[in-house]
Structure 1
Amino acid sequence: MDEDLANKIPQLLQYNPVHKKIPVLVHNCKAVAESLVIVEYIDETWKQNPILPQDPYERAIMRFRAKFGDDKVLPSIWGVFIKQGKEQEELLGQAMETLKFLEEQLEGKVLFGGEKIGLVDIALG
């Protein structure tokens, strides 16, 4: 269902009482909150279309890159748009640095998942 972020409906507060925000996935009457957790839930629930690699090390690398996106890339980019002056300049430098790191991680590939879309591609998309 669509959510009006200014007027949160009771179901959102019921399904995500901790953060009180979207996204929330409701599957089999059970709620799963937070983007990366939802994507991993989807990967584990619908195994015929894996989002994460099977190799444990590669899975860990993909989780790291997705978390890096959430913790470093998105806040720095968001800050560039909402801050001004010197603070904006500093965040622009951070954003460029984090994006350069991600670009290096692509290693000449179009997608982080290689031939098909994966966790990092979804998380950063």
Structure 2
Amino acid sequence: MSLGNTLSKYFNNRAETSEKHWDKDLQTHYYKTTKDKGLAKLEEIISGSSEYKINSVSTDHGEISFHVVKGKKAFVIGTVIMVRPYQTAIDFTVTTESALPFDFGYSSKLIKKLYERINKDLPLLDKQN
């Protein structure tokens, strides 16, 4: 983790997961489930929490968008993609809504929190093979 990466994590208002992200917490998570079950579980988690408000769900595209309504405001897009049978990737993009052009790492922490919550309900796979 270079100094530039660390600074960009804290002095940015957006965070996104990817397969080969330099930050281990922001790497794509793979679960042993189908796309439909993964999306349904994600929707259940979001709708069951008073912290979030669902904006829209697209089962065809495997996407859910929602707002964080408690604490710092943010807009989140969750993407669920089935890579192979019973190997499904879940990615997030978070944009913090604030007057400042940075969020001191809040968007990254939110992604970590979402993954920790999903890990309780879906079996996490080690890494894509």
Structure 1-normalised TM-score?
0.26
- Higher percent of residues as helix: 1
Higher relative contact order (CA 8 A, sep 6+): 2
Larger Rg: 1
